[in-house]
Structure 1
Amino acid sequence: MITGELKSKVDSIWDTIWTGGITSPITVLEQITYLMFMKLLDDNQLKAESNANILGVQLKNKLFKDGTCIISENPRVETDYKNLRWNIFHNFEPEKMLSNIQTYVFPFIKTIGGDGKDTAFSRYMKDTVFLIPTAKVLAKVVDGIDSMDMNNKDIMGDIYEYLLGKIAAAGENGQFRTPRHIINMIVQLMKPTLKDKILDPAMGSAGFLLSSANYVSEHQGKELMKTDNLKYYKGEMFSGFDTDQSMLRIGAMNMMLHGVEEPNIKYQDSLSGANIERNAYSLIMANPPFTGSVFQEEISKDLLALCKTKKTELLFMALFIKMLKTGGRCASIVPDGVLFGGSTAHKALRKELVENQHLRAVISMPSGVFKPYAGVSTAVLVFTKTNAGGTDKVWFYDMKTDGFSLDDKRNPIEQNDIPDIIERFNNLDKEDARERTEQSFFVPKEEIAENNYDLSINKYKKVEYKPVEYPPTTVILAEIENLNKQVVQETAELRKLLGL
């Protein structure tokens, strides 16, 4: 999420493009992300060159060839590769800068990482168009982007989330990002490794994939130095599906900027019969759409066999079970209705998780986590696919705060349960002794089954009522009489002052 000065700068860039004649909000959003990508791409290259100089090694330049760069879309168009770089062309005169981006830079970035191959990035950039209308508008936007602090690893995602909030559709069709600190919490709970094959079948701007890539890079840096591991990390380790081309494009851009050049990102309705992948992934993390339904005739039949419904939040949970390998793990955000809904489909899904899989944890989150986009209460369900049961007890945690105020402003605050959640989840052997009056506790499977597989924490949490002792009525009456005397006395004094 963005606040303060950065928010003002983004608003100014938006207004500049809008005033320049582009009145489609989606088009404004896309043009901003294209220019930000150009800037971040060059920033990454400058860092790589600086590190290579410090280490005294020769940098293998995959993005820019030495000398003349030939744009693959038109072999007859040539320019000095330096002219493709933000740190060079942002100093050009506005007219020259606009011509340079239109003729060379934008066609070039559309082909990055392709090398003639059909990669996610080249696939979703292929039909894009650079539409900044005038040199004056471009110069102002470039200056605005230059003034931003771009050190945030996922600044494109943060700004994209904010821009979506400026569009009327945001929040109505599910197009808003999961807050990054919630994504990071889930990734730290699941601890992805290079042995995992990771999927988000409702990927949006690829937040879960990006956080997983960062976690693996941070915790298995030495292993990533091995050629086979690096090749796997840059390609088939990460998969993501979505039905929104703009989301796929921003996701592919984000993955490219984080060193994952060939992820399996594709346009696909994950719930439809066209998705035939089953038993394929070792780790799924997702925040699937909370609202809406789909045409029943398009839903994959094996999902309906597990959970006969048109509700997407239930169907996605069924999908996760089907797409995981045996032994695979899943952590998914769900609306609270999934935990206690009384329909046959709700109960069937919960029974499946408890009886046939290994349901490990239910982390209840406060309703303000997704504000200002949505106020729905949510939880994180964590389970392992076994197809043979394994649930003996389920760990519940009642998150009160996530480090931000729970109103629409979402200002940072000191109170934050997330570090405690991670600490307790990683040491579940110490949780057995906790009472139901505490913030976390275990509930045995038998008790959950007796309660129609209800997974809402309030069903099991015990509230400690402390008796309040009031003084005797004689004392209370004496206090009232004294107050009345005081009122009469002060009223008389006021009359004297007023000469009445």
Structure 2
Amino acid sequence: MITGEIKSQVDKVWNTFWSGGISNPLEVIEQITYLLFLKRLDENHTRAEAQANLLGEPIENAMFPEGVDPQGRPYSDLRWSKFKDFGQTEMFTVFQQSIFPFLRTELTKQSNGEDSTYSHHMKDAQFKIPNAGVLKQVVDVIDSINMEGRDTKGDLYEYMLSKLASAGTNGQFRTPRHIIDLMVAMTAPQPLEAICDPAAGTCGFLVQAGEYLRTNNANLLTNDETSKFFHHEQFHGFDFDSTMLRIGSMNMLLHGVENPDVSYRDSLADLHSIEEEKYNVILANPPFAGSLDYENVSKELLNVVKTKKTELLFLALFIKLLKPGGRAAVIVPDGVLFGSTGAHKSLRKTLVEGHKLDAVVKLPSGVFKPYAGVSTAILFFTKTNSGGTDNVWFYDVKSDGFSLDDKRTPLGSSDLEDVLSRWNQRTTAELERARTEQSFCVPLSEIVANDYDLSLNRYKEIEYEEVAHAAPEEILAALDELEAEITEGMNELRELLK
């Protein structure tokens, strides 16, 4: 866990970037990412050196080879352990002329000689650190943090990502970590299950799925089969923003996943047949960007639902990507729950009758502030291709533990633990809850009768308290008495003014 002092230093660096002309938070994080990656390469090289010395053998696939780079600079100068001690002018020159090109080349490979996900995305990277002073300050902060522990690296990156305080393009915004944790816990991913986020962004869902797997499976990384799968086959994230891909890849790397599948893809346009029915778990908060032209949408998705609305197309995509028996937890805007168009109703019918809709968790509208005030819900469903919905469980979240204004101040209470607790009882005790409570179940027949409307307010019953009112005669008498007092007071005031 990073300290308040480190956070203060990061804040100072952040302000230095802004004063230097880099005002886009994503670009700031991206530039810091390059330095974090360089430090990680040196750490890997140091470990390889120690192992080679122990065995009396040369280093295989050395991160920093013998000899000099194309600029005539010894590769040993590019190592973090040496580079960090240069004066700021030399540091800037070395990074700009040697290290940054080095990071973009084939030399940024894993120790097994294969291209890493991150090195692949470095090909389009640009160096934008404005001057030597800013670079020196960033290097000093990173070097001051003991990042031997995976948690510290991850926490540092999480803190930087928390600074993404404005919506990105195409309606992208970062999902709060506590909401992600709830969704991950409710889907409960298991070892050897392939997990996918087709709108990955910074890979927050994949990162927390990895943390959940580590926490709940003691032998995950000591078992050869599950360890190999975890590092190379378990996590899949797609995005069409190259900056996001670099940031997301590094986020995974710093959280201890060696080579996740984080790749460029316009998920709604490029649905490949090899991707269909490939994943066990889907976790996502797709962008709600409005409408797309039909020619920009995969025909396979249009066969599921004929629409231009991205929120509906993403749901159709999730159904396509899941294996039979696969589970999804996805955030949708409220309109998906009750929209009256043929596409809305058709897709809800598909979820309810074609597969198994497990739950609708209504979120308060301030959860995504300061990014947006949109009202949303989380849909949980299981792909069956044969129905299976008996009852749909609804929960009305009143508090997520933070104030619902732009400041999002931490509060003393939250409903989220209760959501998870009741979710685990949805097929037992929850079936008996009254519709006046915060959670309840609704049978399939009632949802069908309501034209597949999934809005919580359609089914929630409001319990009104009986209030005793005075009789009309008593109210009129009280008004007469009040009017008399007012008249008397006004007469007294007139006397005083004479």
TM-score range, shorter chain: 0.7 to 0.9
In the TM superposition, residue 119 of structure 1 has moved relative to its aligned partner by 2.7
Query: How far apart, CA to CA, are the structure 2 residues paired with 1:413 and 1:93?
Result: 46
Match of 2:33 in 1: 33
**Partner secondary structure for residue 330 of structure 1:** strand
Match of 2:184 in 1: 187
Q: Report if the CA contact (8 A) 1:201-1:242 is conserved.
A: yes
Letter in 2 for 1:287: N
Q: Report if the CA contact (8 A) 2:352-2:387 is conserved.
A: yes
Query: How far apart, CA to CA, are the structure 1 residues paired with 2:341 and 2:8?
Result: 46
Change beyond 3 A, Cα 1:219–1:23: closer
Query: How far apart, CA to CA, are the structure 1 residues paired with 2:293 and 2:67?
Result: 44
Match of 2:161 in 1: 160
What does 1:8-47 align with in structure 2 at a 5 Å threshold?
12-20=12-20, 27-38=27-38, 41=40
Match of 1:85 in 2: 80
Q: Report if the CA contact (8 A) 1:113-1:121 is conserved.
A: no
In the TM superposition, residue 304 of structure 1 has moved relative to its aligned partner by 1.1
Q: Report if the CA contact (8 A) 2:370-2:407 is conserved.
A: yes
Match of 1:199 in 2: 196
Query: How far apart, CA to CA, are the structure 2 residues paired with 1:203 and 1:331?
Result: 14
Letter in 1 for 2:466: P
TM-score w.r.t. structure 2 length?
Answer: 0.85
Q: Report if the CA contact (8 A) 2:26-2:164 is conserved.
A: no
Match of 2:220 in 1: 223
Query: How far apart, CA to CA, are the structure 2 residues paired with 1:43 and 1:423?
Result: 44
Q: Report if the CA contact (8 A) 2:192-2:226 is conserved.
A: no
Match of 1:401 in 2: 399
In the TM superposition, residue 134 of structure 1 has moved relative to its aligned partner by 2.5
Q: Report if the CA contact (8 A) 2:61-2:112 is conserved.
A: no
**Partner secondary structure for residue 212 of structure 2:** helix
Identity of aligned residues (%): 49
In the TM superposition, residue 389 of structure 1 has moved relative to its aligned partner by 0.7
Query: How far apart, CA to CA, are the structure 2 residues paired with 1:23 and 1:486?
Result: 64
Query: How far apart, CA to CA, are the structure 2 residues paired with 1:26 and 1:437?
Result: 44
Deviations 1:132-186 (A, max 9, x none): 2422232234456678898473442452352462xxxx34522321111111110
Match of 1:256 in 2: 253
Q: Report if the CA contact (8 A) 2:154-2:251 is conserved.
A: no
Letter in 2 for 1:441: F
Change beyond 3 A, Cα 1:397–1:298: same
Q: Report if the CA contact (8 A) 1:281-1:323 is conserved.
A: yes
Residue 443 in 1 paired to residue 449 in 2? Answer: no
Query: How far apart, CA to CA, are the structure 1 residues paired with 2:228 and 2:371?
Result: 38
Letter in 2 for 1:78: P
Deviations 1:244-276 (A, max 9, x none): 101111111111111211111111111224533
Letter in 1 for 2:157: M
Q: Report if the CA contact (8 A) 1:365-1:379 is conserved.
A: yes
Deviations 1:83-121 (A, max 9, x none): 6336x6545432233244345654555515275423311
In the TM superposition, residue 437 of structure 1 has moved relative to its aligned partner by 0.3
Letter in 2 for 1:85: W
Q: Report if the CA contact (8 A) 1:199-1:240 is conserved.
A: yes
Change beyond 3 A, Cα 1:423–1:73: farther
Letter in 2 for 1:349: L
**Partner secondary structure for residue 414 of structure 1:** coil
Match of 1:458 in 2: 457
Letter in 2 for 1:466: E
Query: Which range moves more in the overlay, 69-78 or 215-224?
Result: 69-78
Change beyond 3 A, Cα 1:149–1:231: closer
Q: Report if the CA contact (8 A) 1:70-1:76 is conserved.
A: no
**Partner secondary structure for residue 401 of structure 2:** strand
**Partner secondary structure for residue 405 of structure 1:** coil
Match of 2:421 in 1: 423
Letter in 2 for 1:162: K
Letter in 1 for 2:223: K
Match of 2:470 in 1: 471
**Any gaps of 5 or more consecutive residues in structure 2?**
none
Query: How far apart, CA to CA, are the structure 2 residues paired with 1:74 and 1:282?
Result: 46
**Partner secondary structure for residue 350 of structure 1:** helix
Q: Report if the CA contact (8 A) 1:16-1:141 is conserved.
A: no
Query: How far apart, CA to CA, are the structure 2 residues paired with 1:21 and 1:301?
Result: 43
Q: Report if the CA contact (8 A) 1:204-1:251 is conserved.
A: yes
**Partner secondary structure for residue 366 of structure 2:** helix
Match of 2:412 in 1: 414
**Partner secondary structure for residue 300 of structure 2:** helix
Query: Which range moves more in the overlay, 473-482 or 117-126?
Result: 473-482
Query: How far apart, CA to CA, are the structure 1 residues paired with 2:341 and 2:493?
Result: 68
What does 1:340-419 align with in structure 2 at a 5 Å threshold?
340-419=338-417
**Structure 2 residue corresponding to 1:303, chosen from 301, 304, 307:** 301
Letter in 2 for 1:463: I
Query: Which range moves more in the overlay, 72-81 or 243-252?
Result: 72-81
What is the count of residue pairs matched by the alignment? 482
Letter in 2 for 1:98: F
**Structure 2 residue corresponding to 1:268, chosen from 245, 265, 277:** 265
Match of 1:129 in 2: 126
Query: Which range moves more in the overlay, 269-278 or 421-430?
Result: 269-278
Q: Report if the CA contact (8 A) 1:161-1:176 is conserved.
A: no
Q: Report if the CA contact (8 A) 1:364-1:379 is conserved.
A: yes
Change beyond 3 A, Cα 1:142–1:487: farther
**Structure 1 residue corresponding to 2:116, chosen from 98, 116, 119:** 119
**Partner secondary structure for residue 207 of structure 2:** helix
In the TM superposition, residue 299 of structure 1 has moved relative to its aligned partner by 2.0
Query: Which range moves more in the overlay, 123-132 or 105-114?
Result: 105-114
Change beyond 3 A, Cα 1:64–1:301: closer
Query: Which range moves more in the overlay, 149-158 or 262-271?
Result: 149-158
Letter in 2 for 1:181: H
TM-score w.r.t. structure 1 length?
Answer: 0.85
